[in-house]
Amino acid sequence: MTEQQINSPQQQGNDEMTGAVTLHDIIRMVIANWYWFVLSALVCLSLAYYYLASTPKIYSRTATILVKDSRKGGDLELTAFSDLAGFQNRRSVDNEVFILQSRRLMTEVVKRLDLTVSYSVRERLRRRDLYAQSPVEVTFVNDSDNQSLSMEITPLEGDKVRLTNFEDRFVTKQETRSSITAAYGDTIPTPVGQVIVRKSLYMKPEYTGVPIRVVKNSLSRTTNAYRNAVKSDVANKQASVVTISMNNSVPRRAEDILNTLISVYNEDAIDDKRRVSVTTAEFIKARLAVIGRELGDVDRDIEDIKKDNQMVDITSEAARSVSESSKYKAEGLSLENQINVAEFIRTYLNDPKNAGELIPMMASVTNQGISSQIADYNNAILRREKLMENSSDRSPVIQDLDNLLASVRRSIVASLDSHISTLIIQRDAMRKEETQANRRISTMPSQEKVILGITRQQKIKEELFLYLLNKQEETQLNYAVAESNARIIDLAYGNTLPVSPRPMLILAIALIVGLAIPFGLLYLIGMLDTTIRGRKDVEDNISAPFLGDIPYSEGGAGGDSGIVVRETGRDALSEAFRMLRSSMTFMNVSAGNEIHTILFTSSDPHAGKTFVATNLATTLAMAGKRVLLIDLDLRRHALSSQLGHGNCKTGITSYLAGTTGLDKLIAKTGFHDNLDVIYAGIQPPNPTEMLLSNKLDKMMAELRKEYDYIFIDSTPAMSVADAIITDRLSDLCIYIVREGVLDRRQLPDIERLYREKKLHNMAIVLNGTRSRRHGYGYGYGYGYGYGYGYGYGDEYKEVSYRKRIKSFFRSLSHKIKR
């Protein structure tokens, strides 16, 4: 190839650049089409004037209140249970702002001001609202909050009024055109319901014969409209001042709405506090009644326990029981001694050996009769002993005395038996009393525990009863001194000048737009159609081998995956990729060595390199070749995103960083068994340095042994250096040019890449041919120049708007150029 042949594309590009639009061309275009500028300016100014004449003037009104925010030093009012954490009253200015914008408050404002009904009259191109100045007042007899209707009322002479133009969703056309004449104050049946029309204080003679439009909107619609119009905001985050503003065509209505909203807000706050006080008072009253009954029950329980146990005081009762137990025990022991003594005497008397012996006198024998008998018996024994000194046993006196002694002895034994029985009975009675006393003593702790528990409950309930009595007084005090949550700083105020529309600004904008519209359209006509229009543009400007062209897919790019080829398909796209596969084989022969690695790049992000790479790889896989797709676009992850793995953490970046092995990188695409893919992985901070890694060369060397073809999807070559760096890995570089997207002025840059051999074994593929209406491209986020960002774009974004503009103005462009 000669030097002249090499330079010819560059020269052609320079000639095309020389033919670009200059300032002189623009001035000539404006002068030649001055009437379009004048016509456009007049039309825009007329539209602006009509807008100003027909649009009501909007005024702004603002009110300011101070919310008592507890977080910012606001006062806390007394509440009945302020000493309990669960009943503390805390307010936030942010919460109060939401309350001010609540639907409930605005509904009350609408009802108080009767904002659902509006009156207006026609004045030139606009309608004038008669808020608070309407000459008539309409009362809807069968009023419904959900009803929306309208009518026209025309005051007539002689205290008559005419009603026309009824509109409602249930009104027929015939009823709409009906006319009703009646007197003021009458109940008038109309197609929209019964109404009563009365004169107001603003009735003047000039309103006679003037139709007054009466519109009634539903309560919910009116509430939503004014609720959206009112804006509440905190003026300063360090303070609790709330600014409430509203724009409306009637300044007085805006003022009334803002002032009424503040009044309703304060009343609502006071009602809430009083409602809490009333609820608290009812609760306290109910609790006092319950606790009073419970306190009476506790008192009765204590009374019943004392009655049942016949006690006055548990302490004195315990002392008495211990004293009685000791007493009964001592008496029992005394009786036991007496029984033992009596039994001893009885045993002594029953012993024949002691027949003539004296009976021992025991001090423990308390029976006077037995003691007297024993004393008489002992005296008789002593007398007998004295008689025996002077006589014998046969003496009648001795014998009589012996008989007497035997009789007394038997009498004593009988008395002892009776005495012992009496003592045993007394002893058993003493033991029983002692047992009962001990039982009472043993039950004293349980009784004391029960009494202490009941006493404790009594004390708690007494304290709670007194506490509730105190809180009842506080609640009544809170009800009496309840105040609002906000203090009014400024009532609604504002400027007398409207805030919109602004006549001078709108007229200026209309004039600028009127001049800009024809200028922009004429400029676009001459400037937009600079893209590549076919294969001839490429072959005339680039000397690199041309592999083939890919037709534009009218049905989209194969969905989210972008795969459009079919194994048995006979469509234009499938055949085009088969032809491209064959052309690539010829490149294999011309290169002199076998091609395994193919690099895909382009000039701009809309060329479709990922689309061509994935479909060509699928075509080779369908031909029985093992193909591997590698996403080396480490900045955008175009291929990974198209296959649904844009955020995959396992990819080429993790391998180059040394965190993942090669065996874990390769993944199946799911489109064909012979087609695998390696995703980009996590976006690195240094993509260019990673692509210079020796590990990438070693990986490619290993992958060449396992796959017939390795497709590398890289970045645009004219945006960043990544494609030039990764070109060392490729045997063939396929440069994608997109018809209808790439500017023809960029073709010399592509030719320069080929001549300077910055891309190894470079070949051209034209994408998106045979269509002048639509196109697909890559959404990389860098624009017309060479900027390459880090943001993600949409793969295969439709750019048909350019085609539509060029197709619409192409014919007019030729006329202007002539």
Q: Is the peptide bond before 501 cis (omega within 30 degrees of 0)?
A: yes
Which residues, 6+ apart, have CB-to-CB distance to 573 below 8 Å?
A: 550, 551, 553, 564, 565, 615
The amino acid sitting at 569 is G
| ∠ CA 419-424-430, rounded to 5° | 125
Q: How many Cα atoms occupy the beta-carbon half-sphere of 438 within 13 Å?
A: 9
Nearest-angstrom CA–CA distance, 546 and 738: 13
458, two tokens: 């009594």
- Positions of the chain with pLDDT under 70: 1-22, 25, 69-91, 303, 305-321, 356, 361-367, 391-393, 437, 440-454, 482, 526-527, 529, 554-561, 588-592, 770-818
Nearest-angstrom CA–CA distance, 539 and 756: 18
* pLDDT at residue number 309: 64
Nearest-angstrom CA–CA distance, 370 and 460: 66
Centroid of chain to Cα 479: 36
Listed by start position, the domains of the chain span 3-55+501-527, 61-264, 314-481, 535-817
Query: H helices within 528-650, ranges in order?
Result: 535-541, 572-591, 609-622, 638-642
* pLDDT at residue number 586: 78
Instruction: Supply the DSSP symbol for 91.
Output: -
* pLDDT at residue number 808: 44
Pick the CATH number of 535-817 from 3.40.50.300, 3.90.550.10, 3.20.20.70, 3.30.70.2190: 3.40.50.300
> Tens digit of pLDDT for each residue in 359-397?
776 655 666 777 777 777 777 777 777 777 776 667 777
Nearest-angstrom CA–CA distance, 365 and 338: 6
Nearest-angstrom CA–CA distance, 241 and 225: 25
Task: Give Dmax (Cα) for the chain.
Answer: 198
Nearest-CA neighbor of 55 among 580, 502, 663? 502
DSSP assignments along 132-161, one per residue: TT-SEEEEETT--TT--EEEEEEEETTTEE
> Tens digit of pLDDT for each residue in 679-700?
988 888 888 888 898 999 999 9
Helix (H, G, I), strand (E, B) or coil at 329: helix
Q: Where are the beta strands (DSSP E) in 575-706?
A: 597-602, 627-631, 666-668, 675-678
* pLDDT at residue number 110: 94
Q: Report whether 448 contacts 314 (CB < 8 A).
A: yes
Instruction: Supply the DSSP symbol for 190.
Output: E
Segment holding 241, helix H or strand E: strand 241-248
**Helix 396-481 and helix 314-350, axial crossing angle in degrees, nearest 10:** 170
Nearest-angstrom CA–CA distance, 552 and 576: 11
Spell out the long-range contacts of 439-447 with Cβ–Cβ below 8 A and sequence spacing 24 or more: 440/317, 440/321, 441/318, 441/321, 441/322, 441/325, 444/314, 444/317, 444/318, 444/321, 447/305, 447/309, 447/314
